[in-house]
Amino acid sequence: MEEPTTIRPGDGLYPDRLAQTPDRPAELRLRGALSDLRRVAVVGSRHPDAYGEELARSIAAGLARAGVSVVSGGALGIDAVAHRAALDAGGHTVAVLGTGVDVLYPASNRPLLERVLAEGGAILSELPDGTPGFPVNFPRRNRIISGLSEAVVVVQAAAKSGALVTADWARTQGVPVFAVPGDVREPLSAGPLALLRRGAKVAASAEDVLGALGIASTPEPHLQLALPTLAAGESALLAALARRPRHADEIARQAGLAPGPALAGLLTLELEGLCEQRPGHYFLRRT
């Protein structure tokens, strides 16, 4: 492992907005490269649903394609989706940890955090090397996430969520807050709804954030895929699939097929890389 770097206010590397934050970290430990790109935070629930994952992925990828570094907390859920989407789009991402920079936590995200470093991103922490994942440290690191960023986007969050702590810090630091609207009946929409009522801007896409910051967006590349030869039933299933998960029975009815053959056809489409299966026999289109 490369030796982490220590950065301090006034040394030219320490982020300016964070340096002006009350209770700023006296120093930060850094692995990788922060880069001189503009930065936007994408945060949210550790337990998002398919809608939250899809929006976080789309927003983070759109930001990355526009040359914006995506900042998040390295946690499960929306954080991990945002980091991965930025990397998949060929962009830069920064993970701010509630552990030492040499403690890649949670363990299930270790491969992702190692990828962040391998692909030119950065890992930051105010904590000494070797510090484990004590719960008290995670809310405090959120002021670093917002202090690094020109905007904070909250995708999904329950009424009491660490993502809302990040949004509160953003307001203190003068950082614009964006929230992704969701179904108001769902618990994970409670946080974004509260933020919108308090004046947060709507983020339905990366373009909403980029436009507010005066950054030109880059259209999503449309890959020209050579589709395999499909049987008539499989073609009907492909036409019935949507970008949001639908149950196999619903897809079968629209395609005019019995449930058994429809499920077999969907599995064939999955093997061809044309659809993705979610738990409970839910499927969504990939192309």
Tens digit of each residue's pLDDT (9 = 90 or more) over 4-58: 999 999 998 899 999 998 889 999 999 999 988 999 999 999 999 989 999 999 9
Collect all residues with Cβ–Cβ distance below 8 Å to 259 and sequence separation of at least 6.
248, 249, 252
Q: Which two tokens stand for residue 9?
A: 């206010």
Residue ranges per structural domain of the chain: 5-213, 232-285
- As a whole number, the mean pLDDT across the chain is 91
User: Do 5-213 and 232-285 fold alike per CATH?
Assistant: no
Reported CATH class of domain 5-213:
alpha beta
Q: Which one, of 174, 173, 175, lies nearest residue 153 by Cα?
A: 175
Q: Residue type at 191?
A: G
Residue bearing the bigger pLDDT, 2 or 40:
40
Closest CA to 167 of 44, 58, 84: 44
Tell me the pLDDT tens digit for each residue of 61-82.
999 999 999 999 999 999 999 9
Strand order through the sheet with 69-72: 5-7, 28-32, 122-125, 93-96, 69-72, 39-43, 152-154, 177-179, 201-202
Q: Which tokens in the block code for residue 173?
A: 């630091």
The HSE-up count of residue 200 (CA atoms within 13 Å, CB side) is: 27
With tokens 């986007």, the residue in question is 153
In angstroms, what CA-CA distances link 229 with 132, 233, 269, 272?
52, 12, 11, 10
| Structure token pair of residue 152 | 């904070």
Contacts of 160 (CB under 8 A, 6+ apart): none
Judge whether residue 2 has pLDDT over 80: no
- The pLDDT value given to residue 225: 46
Residues 239-268: tens digit of each pLDDT: 888 878 889 999 999 888 999 999 999 999
Name the burial class of residue 268, with classes exposed (0-12), middle (13-18) and buried (19+) by CB atoms within 10 angstroms of its CB.
Answer: middle
d(CA 169, CA 73): 14
CATH number corresponding to 232-285: 1.10.10.10
Q: Hunting for tokens 């020109």 — which residue is that? A: 150
| pLDDT exceeds cutoff 60 at 226 | no
Report DSSP state, residue 204. Answer: S
CA distances from 6 to 3, 102, 122, 265, 284 (A): 10, 13, 13, 55, 45
Give the pLDDT band (50/70/90) at residue 172. very high
How many other CB atoms sit within 10 Å of the CB of residue 108? 10
